[in-house]
Amino acid sequence: MGRWFVERRAMMWGWRWLTVVLFFVAAVAAAPAPTSSSCPLNFTVLDGFPSVVAHVRGSDSLEKKCLDLSHGMDVLLSVYLKSTGYFLPPPEAAESCIQAQELYFQEPNITQLCGLSPALISRGTDNCQRIQTREDFRNITQAAGVAASLDTCKNSGALADGNTKSAACAACTKALTFVANSLRGSGNGSDNLCLDYTAMYTGAEVVTAGPSDATTLLCLWGILAFEVSKENQLQWWLYLVIGAVVIFFGASCAWIAIVLRRRRRLKQSNDEFVTRTKGMLHGSMGEHGGGLTWYNIEEIRAATHNFDVEMIIGQGGFGNVYKGVLPDGREVACKRFKDCTAAGDANFLHEVQALASVRHKNLVALRGCCIASLGEGRLAGYQRIIIFDYVKNGSLQDHLFGNKDVDDQILTWPQRLKIATDTARGLEYLHSGVQVQILHRDIKPSNILLDGDFNAMVADFGLVKFTPDGMTHMTTRVAGSFGYVAPEYAMYNQLTERSDVYSFGVVLLELISRRKAMTPDPVTSELLIDWAWRLIKEGHWEEILDKRLTDLGTAFEMERFVMLALLCAHPQVYYRPTMASVLRMLENAQQVPSLPDRPVPVTFSKAAFQAALASSSSSLSMSFTTSKSSVSHSALI
C-alpha cells in the first residue's frame, strides 16, 4: 500500500510537470512572432548591366563603389515605383532588401562601408519633402510649377546614341537639376535625396521606354549598357592598333601617290601657263618688248615680304598693288593680277602693251614683268605681276580728299596747278605723242600719282583704248568711273579723245573747289558739275574756289581756270578743246574761249550709267582692249 502510494505520488508529479511544459509550449506558440518579409525589389534587372556589379565588386575606390551602388539601387527603386506607385518598400521588407543587396553584389560589408541603413529604403522615411508615392511627387511639383519641366526627358530614344549621351540628355539632366532644386526650396521637409527621387520618378513615369531602358540608364544614372571586360580589353586594343597601323599605312601610300600625280599634273599645267603667257607677250608686243625686264618670282616675294598685307598700297577689281624693295634698294610697286586664267590673258597683255608702248615723265613707267607659277602654300597658283617705279606720295585722291596715311597738309594752289599741268601733259602725249592714239578712259584723282616733289603721273592703263588718230571710236563696252565718264560715252558709247578731256575737266574742277565729283551739295543736293554751272550763271564763280586756299592767283587767272574746267567738262563734245589746247591754256600760252551755255544739265543718274554698263557686251575684236566692267576701277596703278 505504501509502495503503491509512493508510485502513485510520483506519477502525479510527472503529469503535473508535463502539464506545465505543455502550458509553456502553448504559451510560446500563442505569443506573436517577430515580423519579417521578403524584399520586393527585383535585383535581376541589373543583370543586363554588368558594369554596375563589376564596379561595385572590383573598384579600388570606395567612393566609386558607393556611387555605383547608389545608382543601382535607384534603378531598382524606379522599377519598383513604376509597378507599385511607391518610392520605397514597406518597413518590414527593408532589412531583407539590405541583405539581398549584399548578397547580389557579393559585398557583405558594403552597407556599413557606404553608410547605408534599412531606414533609407524604408517607406515612411522622409528623404525628400515627405514624398512617399508618385501622387505625392506629382502634387508637389505641380504646386511648385515645375512638373512640365520633366517633359524634356520623354523621348528615351533621343537620350543617348550607343554609349554616348546626346544633347537631349543634356537638356534632360538640366531639367532634373532644376526640379530637384525647386523641391529643396519648398521647405516642406527633408531634402537630402530630392535629386535621386526626381531621377527615379522621371525613369518610372516620364521616360517612355521606362527605367530599365539602356538609354534611360545611361542618361539618368550614367550606367553603360555594355562594357568590355578587362580580360578582353588588351585583345581589343591590339586589334585596334593593328587595324589603325594598316589603315594609316594604306592611306599614306594612297596619299603619296595622289600628291605625286597631282604635282606632275600641276607642274605640267604651270609650265604650260608660263610658256603661253611669255609667248603671248613676246609674240604680240614686237618692238615694244625690247626694254622689258623679267623678274623671277623669288625676287618679287623677297621685295614684298612674301606679299605681306602690310605692303599693300592699292586694291582694285584686278587684284592688289604691293610696295616692294629690290636688292639694289630701288622701291617699286608690284601689281599682282587676280585673274590668271586663260580668260585673263587679254587684260594682262593689254595693260603691259599699253605701258610698254609709252615713255613719258608724266606717265607711270613700267619697269618689268614676272610670270610664274607656285605649286604649294597660300600663294599657290598662277602669278602675273607687272612692276612699276614706286611713286612716294600716293595719289591725288589721298591729298585732295584725305587719307589716314597722308599728312594733313593742304595742297597749295601752285601745287594743284602743277598737278593739273602735268596730268594734261601726260594725256596730251597719249593722244598725240604716240604712233597709235591711246585713250585712257579712266582719268580721276585716284589714278593720278604724285612723286616726292609732287610731280603728277597718270597711272592705271587697264582701260586704255588704242584707236587711229582723230577717229571716233564706237565701242560696245562702257568703262570708267561714274562722275568722270563723258555723257556721250556713257549714253551712246561714242568714244573720242574729248572723252578724256571731259574727265580731265572734272578733275580740274575738283582741284579748284576741293569738292568730290559725286558728293551732293548739302543744301541744293547738286553734284559738282551742276553746282559749278549754276554759280557761273549766277555770276558767283568765286564761290567755286576752295576756301582753304590762301595763295590763289589773281581773280582774272582763277576765273580763267574755272572757265577752262567747265569748258573741258562741257556736255557737248564739239565745244571741248583738245588736250594740246588745254595744256597751252594752262600754261597761259593760249586764251580760254568764252564758255558756251549748255542746253541741258549734264548730270545723268548712276542707275542710267549702270544700265549702260549692263547693256554693254564684249569689246570690239578689232581693238586691242578688253575692259573691266566695274564702275569704280582700281584706286592705284
Instruction: Using DSSP bridges, classify how beta strands 381-389 and 331-337 pair: parallel, antiparallel or unpaired.
Output: antiparallel
Q: 266: which 3 cell numbers? A: 600641276
Taking each continuous run of H as one helix and of E as one strand, the counts in the chain are 20, 14
Element (H, E) at 321: strand 319-325
User: CA torsion angle for 114, 120, 121, 125 (degrees, to 10)?
Assistant: 180
DSSP per position, 256-289: HHHHHHHHHHHHHHHHHHHHHHHHHHHHHHGGGG
Instruction: Using DSSP bridges, classify how beta strands 437-439 and 465-467 pair: parallel, antiparallel or unpaired.
Output: antiparallel
Dmax over Cα atoms in the chain, in whole Å?
A: 187
Q: What are phi and psi of 465, to 5 degrees?
A: -120, 135
Rounded CA separation 193/77 (Å): 13
CB distance 24 to 188 below 8 Å? no
Is residue 335 annotated as involved in ligand binding? yes
Rounded CA separation 167/294 (Å): 61
Q: What are phi and psi of 153, to 5 degrees?
A: -95, 5
CB distance 637 to 333 below 8 Å? yes
Q: Does residue 345 have an active-site annotation?
A: no
Q: Which residues contact 577 (CB under 8 A, 6 or more apart)?
A: 501, 567, 568, 585, 593
Q: 62: which 3 cell numbers? A: 570606395
Write the DSSP symbol of residue 206: I
Q: Which of 191, 196, 213, 442 is catalytic?
A: 442
Rounded CA separation 8/18 (Å): 16
Q: 637: which 3 cell numbers? A: 596703278
410 conformational bin, left if phi > 0, alpha if psi -120 to 50, beta if neither: beta
In the annotated binding site, the residues are 335
In the annotated binding site for ATP, the residues are 335
Active site residues: 442
